[in-house]
Amino acid sequence: VRRKYGTPYWVKPINDEGFIPTRNYSEGYFEHGEDINAETMQERIVDGGGACYNCVIACWNKSSVKRGPFKGITLIGPEYETIALMGSNLGLKSIEDVAYLCDRCNELGMDTISMGGILGFTIEAYNKKIISKKDLNGADVGWGKPVEILKLIEDIAHRRTKITTLLGEGVKTAAEKLEAESFAVHCKGMDIPGYDPRGTFGMGLAYATSDRGACHQRAWTVRAELNDPELERFSFDKKAGIVKNVQDERAAFFSLVLCDFAPISEEDCVDMWDLATGFNHTVESYLKCGERIWNLIRLFNLREGLQPGSDKLPPRLFNESFTKGPVKGIVLTKNRFEQSLKEYYSLRCWDEKGLPKKEKLKQLDLLEYANLIGV
């Protein structure tokens, strides 16, 4: 599947399950999902595959736009996250349009998840008359309007107006200045990626506790929540332990500079690590290294200004439910989320404010850094 489709494979199952970001996370099912999924992408824009050096997975898609106003461009991608945030999240129903906007963001050096987040926020703010056409340098933005969205991307990139300069600072800053935080969807300033937590509760806890905001690479619970019969998608039960364990494992794994998609077991990681360093690790000591990394990052973030209470989710996820699709009517329960967060802190041996306890720092050989947080 990865070789044939790459990450766009996930467009169909995530949309079918009802939690793909749609129109600034106001819905989780995109009615034009078939127009931007992997099969359509293969039929209309993909020219072949590709891979990183020596990789046997070969998950790239080499693509070109062959029709429409953006005909002629070539690119690698787009990936799933781009299709979700620059496609369904903006109401775009043409894979060619998504591909071009992806390529333009790449050329401008801008992340497509964050750009998709701020564009969705801007369109909603425009529709609510919080932002005017004049503010946007004449761009009449709206859901499913690729040419106007492209103009907005350029104006944000080049900071051409006061408002587009503000938008370039990201959703968190823009929402605070515009007093529009009720529909600003981010954690710690990072836009939520392509898995709305109302359809996979574990991702809500993963986003909230991530060291750098709403990041799907720190702990990805989606596959387990969709496939494990012992896990309830629409519940926080057992999610604290899963999120904590995956975060620790990923921290160790990323330290080995390996690909997310490589099917490498923890035992194989330990063997490679020992061969490279001469150490004699076990799986347990390998995972403890990941836990040490996670706690050291927490100490660093707290020293640099992370406030207790920052491990939270945006209001929209608690206050608004989807009106259509398989997840219709479901919202996250704030009380249950907070209980799960407390459980997560307890499993990490952190206090009720999310500060690592002295005994945990001692256990992880990090006691010399205790003064950073005054414990």
Give the model confidence (pLDDT) of 273-288 as tens digits: 999 999 999 999 999 9
Q: Mean pLDDT score of the chain, rounded to an integer?
A: 96
The candidate with the shortest Cα–Cα distance to 344, out of 354, 334, 335, is 354
The band of 262, judged by pLDDT with boundaries at 50, 70 and 90, is confident
Domain ranges of the chain: 2-190, 196-372
CATH topology of domain 196-372: 1.10.599
Over residues 255-276, mean pLDDT: 92
The candidate with the shortest Cα–Cα distance to 15, out of 149, 194, 236, 221, is 194
- Number of CB atoms found within 10 A of residue 226's CB: 15
221 φ, ψ to 5°? -95, 0
What is the pLDDT, as a whole number, of residue 32? 98
User: What class is the 2-190 domain?
Assistant: mainly alpha
What is the pLDDT, as a whole number, of residue 263? 85
Summarised one tens digit per residue, pLDDT across range 140-157 is 999 999 999 999 999 999
Residue 119, both tokens: 């564009």
Summarised one tens digit per residue, pLDDT across range 284-324 is 999 999 999 999 999 999 999 998 889 999 999 999 999 99
Of all residues in the chain, the percent with pLDDT exceeding 90 is: 95
What is the pLDDT, as a whole number, of residue 151? 97
Reported as half-sphere exposure (CB side, CA atoms, 13 A), residue 98 has a value of 35
Residue 185, both tokens: 């969807």
Summarised one tens digit per residue, pLDDT across range 28-63 is 999 999 999 999 999 999 999 999 999 999 999 999
The band of 374, judged by pLDDT with boundaries at 50, 70 and 90, is confident
Q: Which amino acid is at 298?
A: R
Summarised one tens digit per residue, pLDDT across range 70-103 is 999 999 999 999 999 999 999 999 999 999 999 9
Asked which of 21-25, 206-210, 256-260, 364-368 is least confident by mean pLDDT, the reply is: 256-260
For residue 227, pLDDT beyond 80: yes
For residue 364, pLDDT beyond 80: yes
The whole-angstrom distance between residue 351's C-alpha and the CA centroid of its chain comes to: 27
In three-state secondary structure terms, 184 is coil
CB 216 within 8 A of CB 223: no
